[in-house]
Amino acid sequence: MTQLGNDEILKAVNLKKYFRIGKDKKGPIFVRAVDGVNFSIKYGETLGLVGESGSGKSTIAYTVVGMYRPTSGQILFKGQNIGMEAVRRPLSLKKEIQIVFQDPSSSLNPEQTVEQILSLPLRLHTRTPKRQFKEKMVELLEKVELPSDYLYKLPLSIGGGEKQMVAIARALASNPSLIVLDEPTSALDVSIQAKVINKLMNLQKELNLTYLFITHDLSLERNVASRIVIMYLGKICEVADAATFFEKPLHPYTQMLISSVPVITEEEEKLKPKKIVSIGEIGSPVNPPSGCSFHPRCPYRMPICSEVDPEMIEVSPGHIVRCHLFSRPEKTDSKGV
Amino acid sequence: METKENILLNIKNLHVWYRVYGGYLKVLNGVNLIVREGERVGLVGEAGCGKTTTMKSILQILPPGDFLIPKGEIYYKGKDILKMNFSEIQRLRSKEIAMIFQDPTAALNPVFTIGTQIGDVIKYSIALEEKKVYKEKLKILSARALKEAYLPDPERMLVNYPFQLSGGMRQRTCIAMAISSSRNLLIADEPGTSLDVTIQDQILHLLKEIVEKMGASIILITHSLGVAREMTDRIYVMYAGTIVETALTKDLFKNPVHPYTKGLLASVPKLSGGGIARGIPGRIPDYLNPPQGCRFQPRCEHSTSSCVENPPQFFEVEEGHLVACYLAQR
Amino acid sequence: MRNLSGGQSNSPIAVNLARPKSLFWTNLGRNWYKFSRNPLSIIGLVIVLVIIISAIFAPWIAPYPEQAGPFVDFENAGQPPSLQHLCGTDNMGRDIFSRIVFAFRGALIMAIVVLALAVPPGVLLGLIAGYFQGGWIDTVIMRITDIFLAVPPLILALAVASVLEPNLMNAMIAVTLMWWPWYTRLLYGTASSIKNEYFVIAAELTGAGKFHIIFREILPNCLSPIFTKIALDVGWVILIGASLSFVGLGQQPPTPALGQMVSDGARYMPIFWWMTIFPALAIVLILLGFNLMGDGIRDMLERGMG
Mean pLDDT of C218-239: 93
Alpha-carbon distance A213 to A198, whole Å?
14
Closest residue in B to A278 (Cα–Cα)? B198
Region of B72 (left: φ > 0; alpha: ψ -120 to 50; beta: rest) is left
Contacting partners of chain B (3+ CB pairs under 8 A):
A, C
Contact A263 B226 (CB under 8 A): yes
Closest residue in A to C222 (Cα–Cα)? A111
pLDDT band at C7 (very low <50, low <70, confident <90, very high): very low
Instruction: Give B20's contacts in chain C (Cβ within 8 Å).
Output: 305-306
pLDDT at A332 exceeding the cut of 80: no
pLDDT at C303 exceeding the cut of 70: no
**H/E element holding C52?**
helix C39-56
The answer to whether C106 and C113 have CB atoms below 8 angstroms apart is no
Alpha-carbon distance C246 to C239, whole Å?
10
The pairing of beta strand A312-316 with beta strand A319-322: antiparallel
Alpha-carbon distance A140 to A138, whole Å?
5
Decide which of C32 and C203 is more confident: C203
Would you list which residues of chain B are within 8 Å, Cβ to Cβ, of chain A?
Answer: 46-47, 166-169, 196-202, 205, 223-227, 229-230, 253, 263-280, 283
pLDDT per residue as tens, chain B (330 positions): 445 568 999 999 999 999 888 889 999 999 999 999 989 999 999 888 999 899 999 988 888 878 899 999 999 998 999 999 998 998 888 889 999 998 888 899 999 999 999 988 888 877 666 666 677 888 888 888 898 888 888 888 899 999 998 888 999 999 999 988 777 999 999 887 878 888 888 889 899 998 888 889 999 999 889 999 999 999 999 999 999 999 999 999 999 999 999 999 999 999 888 888 778 888 888 899 999 889 999 998 888 888 888 888 888 988 889 999 988 876
Q: Residue A274 has what pLDDT?
A: 78
Using alpha carbons, select from B97, B55, B74, B71 the residue that is nearest to residue B10. B74
Best probe of the C interface among B21, B27, B288, by most C CBs < 10 A, is B21
Contact A264 B276 (CB under 8 A): no
pLDDT band at A72 (very low <50, low <70, confident <90, very high): very high
Best probe of the B interface among A192, A264, A279, by most B CBs < 10 A, is A264
- State percent of chain A over pLDDT 70: 94
Write down the mean pLDDT value for chain C. Answer: 86
Closest residue in B to C30 (Cα–Cα)? B21
Q: Which amino acid is at A64?
A: V
The answer to whether C300 and C35 have CB atoms below 8 angstroms apart is yes
Contact A148 C13 (CB under 8 A): yes
Q: Residue A103 has what pLDDT?
A: 92
Q: Residue A245 has what pLDDT?
A: 92
Residue C306 forms contact with B (CB below 8 Å) = yes
Question: How far does Cα C287 stand from its chain's mean position?
Answer: 11
| pLDDT, tens digit, 9 for 90 and up, residues A157-168 | 898 899 999 999
Instruction: Give A192's contacts in chain B (Cβ within 8 Å).
Output: 46, 279
Alpha-carbon distance A162 to A157, whole Å?
10
- State percent of chain C over pLDDT 70: 90
Give me the DSSP letters along A229-243.
EEEETTEEEEEEEHH
What's the distance, Cα to Cα, between the start and end of chain A in Å?
34
Alpha-carbon distance C234 to C182, whole Å?
13
Instruction: Give C4's contacts in chain A (Cβ within 8 Å).
Output: 135, 138-139, 142
Alpha-carbon distance C184 to C126, whole Å?
4
Instruction: Give A277's contacts in chain B (Cβ within 8 Å).
Output: 201-202, 205
Nearest CB among A110, A120, A148 relative to C303 is that of: A110
Q: Residue A5 has what pLDDT?
A: 64
pLDDT at C1 exceeding the cut of 80: no
Alpha-carbon distance C108 to C237, whole Å?
9
Decide which of A228 and C68 is more confident: A228
Would you list which residues of chain B are within 8 Å, Cβ to Cβ, of chain C?
Answer: 20-22
- SS3 call for B309: helix
Closest residue in A to B165 (Cα–Cα)? A281
Closest residue in B to A197 (Cα–Cα)? B276
Alpha-carbon distance B227 to B104, whole Å?
18
Alpha helices (H) along chain A: 57-65, 91-96, 104-107, 114-125, 133-143, 160-172, 190-207, 218-224, 242-247, 252-259, 266-271
Residues in a beta bridge with B80: B75
Nearest CB among A52, A53, A262 relative to B230 is that of: A262
Could you give the C-alpha distances from A130 to A166, A303, B139, C203, in angstroms and in order? 20, 67, 70, 19
The answer to whether A312 and A250 have CB atoms below 8 angstroms apart is no
Closest residue in C to A66 (Cα–Cα)? C205
The answer to whether C229 and C180 have CB atoms below 8 angstroms apart is no
Closest residue in C to B65 (Cα–Cα)? C37
pLDDT band at A69 (very low <50, low <70, confident <90, very high): very high
The pairing of beta strand B67-76 with beta strand A8-24: unpaired
Contact A263 B271 (CB under 8 A): yes
| pLDDT, tens digit, 9 for 90 and up, residues C126-153 | 999 999 999 999 999 999 999 999 988 7
Give B86→chain A minimum CA distance, Å: 36
Least confident range from A44-48, B36-40, C45-49, C164-168: namely: C164-168
Give B243→chain A minimum CA distance, Å: 17
The pairing of beta strand B23-36 with beta strand B40-44: unpaired
Mean pLDDT of C90-113: 91
Closest residue in A to B49 (Cα–Cα)? A189
pLDDT at C2 exceeding the cut of 50: no
Find the helix packing angle between A190-207 and B259-267, rounded to 10°: 50
Contact B20 C34 (CB under 8 A): no
Give B130→chain A minimum CA distance, Å: 39
Question: How far does Cα A121 stand from its chain's mean position?
Answer: 23
| pLDDT, tens digit, 9 for 90 and up, residues A230-268 | 999 999 999 999 999 999 999 999 999 998 888 888 888
Could you give the C-alpha distances from A185 to B193, B280, B281, in angstroms and in order? 14, 15, 17
| pLDDT, tens digit, 9 for 90 and up, residues A191-238 | 899 999 999 999 999 999 999 999 988 999 999 999 999 999 999 999
Best probe of the A interface among B157, B164, B197, B224, by most A CBs < 10 A, is B197
Nearest CB among C13, C199, C200 relative to A134 is that of: C13
Instruction: Give A152's contacts in chain C (Cβ within 8 Å).
Output: 19-20, 23
Give C190→chain A minimum CA distance, Å: 15
Would you list which residues of chain A are within 8 Å, Cβ to Cβ, of chain C?
Answer: 65-67, 86-87, 91, 94-95, 98-99, 101, 103, 106-112, 116, 120-121, 124-125, 131-132, 134-135, 138-139, 142, 148-149, 151-152, 156, 170, 174
Instruction: Give A296's contacts in chain B (Cβ within 8 Å).
Output: none
* Helix, strand, coil percent values for chain A (each to nearest 5): 35, 25, 40
The answer to whether B173 and B114 have CB atoms below 8 angstroms apart is yes
Q: Residue A127 has what pLDDT?
A: 86
Instruction: Give C306's contacts in chain B (Cβ within 8 Å).
Output: 20-22
Mean pLDDT of C11-37: 66
What's the distance, Cα to Cα, between the start and end of chain B in Å?
22
pLDDT band at C78 (very low <50, low <70, confident <90, very high): confident
| pLDDT, tens digit, 9 for 90 and up, residues A283-331 | 778 888 888 888 888 888 888 888 889 999 999 999 999 999 987 655 4
Instruction: Give B21's contacts in chain C (Cβ within 8 Å).
Output: 29-30, 33-34, 306
Residue C29 forms contact with B (CB below 8 Å) = yes
